[in-house]
Amino acid sequence: MLSEKTIAIIKSTVPVLEVHGTAITKRFYQLLFTSHPELMNVFNHANQRQGKQQTALANAVYAAAKYIDKLETILPAVKQIAHKHRSLGITAEQYPIVGQNLLQAIKEVLGDAATDEILNAWAEAYGVIASVFISVETEMYKEAEEQHGGWAGYREFRVERKVRESSVITSFYLVPQDGGAIASFEPGQYVSVKLDIPGETNTHIRQYSLSDAPGKPYYRISVKREDALPGKPAGVVSVYLHEQVKEGDVLLLSAPAGHFTLDLKDARPVVLISGGVGLTPMVSMLNTLADTKSDRQVTFIHAAQSGDFHALKQQVEEKVNQTSGATAHWCYAQPTAQDTGVFHKEGYIDLPWLQEIIPSKDAAFYFCGPTPFMAHINRLLLQWGVPAADIHYEFFGPAGSLDEESEKAAVTN
């Protein structure tokens, strides 16, 4: 346990971290990759370039400092990060490396303000926080390996089928190369795909939501091709999967992980809302409810640019038709002439439409999509009076924030 003095010192740094947190984490990653370049094989390079990873870490450090005397408050966030660490293969031996470089970054960014007393307090606090992560992740590694069909590290899976779902999304049906059983998973979870891409210096690891129900002889991931945009390069991994990976090829997968899961014990109605490729965990949830013949009322809502970009539409409609009390609703921002009669709303999701198609706000709400989209949906649900405890969402990539800044982006983009 931390001493009262250490806790007081850590909490005194909260205002400083609020201002300089991102500068500290930016410098941290520079130091980390310089001293341990092998870790470039673990981290998502695109998130590094876009600053998402630095911001996520800054938020985590800030929360740890703010609640250093009540670490149980941040346990849900710890578990979320621990799932990602387990899927990436982060080891206990890497935590001291992280701690050393984080303290060095604090010292460099804060300069004389980072007194020996502050640095010693942070070293002590980091040790406690790291031990919490290591303990949680150790259990996760054990569970992933010892469950039926489970495994440690990465396992070879063969691409049994490759199916084009829309103009930008393709599904990959993956079966174990060794012919053995595969671990079950909770609807909403993801797997890590590890790739050595010709011409790339480092290994690339990406997480993709499983887009079908558990209990199948395969895992399915549905990947959006991330093409280049002004100021944003094309997605190295997604383009490689779309263009180069073919049926019969072998990919390396981690065992399923993730905290964003459908609560199957909740008997209340469920509302699944998605934007773009964010429908992948939602489809897994829908398929699970359909396959288990759940009598829960299900409202499935999906937003896409147009029918050309709408993946898995026919499959969702089939599952909805097989499920008593289930409905599906499509919102197209820019429908084409070919979309006439196949969508339900033009433009963007708004509260009056949600209130029209959702029978009751007394339900469990799950949503996923681009951050501005999720900020918009979150604001609508809170405006409607949906309790925060009934609102569940998933970020693709480092955890972000559904704050007013994200909402502004939703309005201006």
Q: How many CA atoms lie within 13 A of 95 on its CB side?
A: 18
Instruction: Give whole-number Cα distances, 114 to 12, 15, 21, 26, 107, in Å.
Output: 12, 13, 13, 17, 5
The question of whether 405 is a catalytic residue gets the answer no
Could you tell me the two tokens for 284? 């897994």
161 is in an annotated binding site: no
The residues, ordered by sequence, that sit 6+ positions from 204 with a Cβ below 8 Å of its Cβ are 44, 45, 194, 195, 196, 197, 236, 237
Q: Is 278 annotated as a binding residue?
A: yes
With contact defined as beta carbons under 8 Å apart, do 271 and 366 qualify?
Answer: yes
Asked if residues 222 and 280 have their Cβ atoms less than 8 Å apart, the reply is yes
190 in a known ligand binding site: yes
- 204 appears as a binding residue in the annotation: no
Under 8 Å between Cβ of 358 and 390:
no
Q: Which two tokens stand for residue 333?
A: 């921002």
Residues 62, 95, 126, 219: which is the catalytic one?
95
206 annotated binding-site participant:
yes
Does 209 count as an annotated binding residue? Answer: yes
Q: How far apart are CA 60 and CA 55, in angstroms?
A: 9
299-309: string of b/e by CB count within 10 Å (b at 16+)?
Answer: bbbbbbbbbeb
- Binding site annotation covers 277? yes
**Active-site annotation holds for 137:** yes
Is 45 labeled as ligand-binding?
A: no
Note whether 130 and 99 are within 8 A (CB).
Answer: yes
Q: Confirm or deny that 208 is annotated as ligand binding.
A: yes
Q: How many CB atoms lie within 10 A of CB 161?
A: 12
Q: From the CB of residue 183, how many other CB atoms can be counted at a distance below 10 Å?
A: 19
Pick the catalytic residue from 29, 62, 126, 137: 137
Whether 316 has a binding-site annotation, put simply, is no
The verdict on whether residue 83 carries a ligand-binding annotation is no
Q: Is 397 annotated as a binding residue?
A: yes
Distance between CA atoms of residues 364 and 353, nearest Å: 18
Cα 189 vs. chain centroid, distance in angstroms?
Answer: 9
Long-range contacts at 146-151 (CB < 8 A, ≥ 24 apart):
147/183, 147/184, 147/255, 148/181, 148/183, 148/184, 149/180, 149/181, 149/182, 149/183, 149/184, 150/183, 150/255, 151/183, 151/255
For residues 237 and 204, the answer to whether their CB atoms sit within 8 Å is yes
Cα–Cα distance, 191 to 399 (Å, whole number)? 17
Helices 52-66, 75-88: crossing angle, 10 deg rounding: 140
Is residue 395 part of an annotated ligand binding site? Answer: yes
207 is known to lie in a ligand binding site? yes
Supply angle C-alpha 387, 214, 132, rounded to 5.
Answer: 60
Residue ranges at the known binding site: 85, 190, 206-209, 276-281, 395-398
Q: Which residues are catalytic?
A: 95, 137
Residue ranges at the known binding site for NADP(+): 276-281
Residue ranges at the known binding site for heme b: 85
Residue ranges at the known binding site for FAD: 190, 206-209, 395-398
